[in-house]
Amino acid sequence: MVLDRGPIVVEATAVGGDTRLSGLIDEVRTFRDRPPRVQGSIEMFSKWWVPLVLVGAPLAGLITNDVRLTLLLWVVACPCALLLAAPVPHAAALSTASSIGVVARGGDALEAAAGIDLALLDKTGTLTSGQPRLSEVRLAKSQKSENVLRLAAGLEQRSNHPYAAVILQEASGLGIAEVTSIQDGDAGVERGNTVVRKSCLVVKIGSSRMASRSPTICWKVSIQHSGYQF
């Protein structure tokens, strides 16, 4: 949710350890302590590898009559790095994921994510960052992108809505002349949409449903920029 202005009433339904955040933290700790399947395979391998090295290294030293070879094998063949190769990245990955709001059910889930080609999410709010971007401008046959963006930027220049900031940024980046004034008219928000009316020509910024409704009241408005009047 993004709230730039207006009141908001917040009611606490849970506190302390009963909150959802506390539950997520507990889950992250539980999943972090739960070893991935690959760690079990590594530990099983180490159960055979360590005794083999402990016995085989002295035998190799006796055969070659070189004690240094025994010490070398013990140092090189020590499975410490192998045993740490699974739990350390596992814990680090889960901690990093939780810091950006992603809760993974253990290291196996993160490993499986590497093979994902398509993800389905339950709602758009899951990915909302509060920083929208303008991806495409679709125009009617008789319209030009520059004119449409100029009008849109003129309507939104006094708005603090996140979408207004995107339109103004896009118009500024393209070097489109600014609308210098809106006179003798009424501009504002109608059901969450920006509206400016000129005679019986209505300029609207909003959803397609809102734009498709016929206006019942018209106000005269003059929009000027660089000597051009709509």
Residues recognised as catalytic: 122
SS (H, E, C) the chain: CCCCCCCCCCCCCCCHHHCHHHHHHHHHHHHHHCCCHHHHHHHHHHHHHHHHHHHHHHHHHHHHCCHHHHHHHHHHCCCHHHHHCCHHHHHHHHHHHHHCCCCCCCHHHHHHHCCCCCCCCCCHHHCCCCCCCCCCCCCCCCCCHHHHHHHHHHHHCCCCCHHHHHHHHHHHHCCCCCCCEEECCCEEEECCEEEEEECCEEEEECCHHHHHCCCCCCCCCEEEECCEEC
Position of tokens 């709509």?
230
Q: Which amino acid is at 64?
A: T
Q: How many CA atoms lie less than 13 Å away from 226 in the CB half-sphere?
A: 5
- Label residue 136 exposed, middle or buried (CB < 10 Å: 0-12, 13-18, 19+): exposed
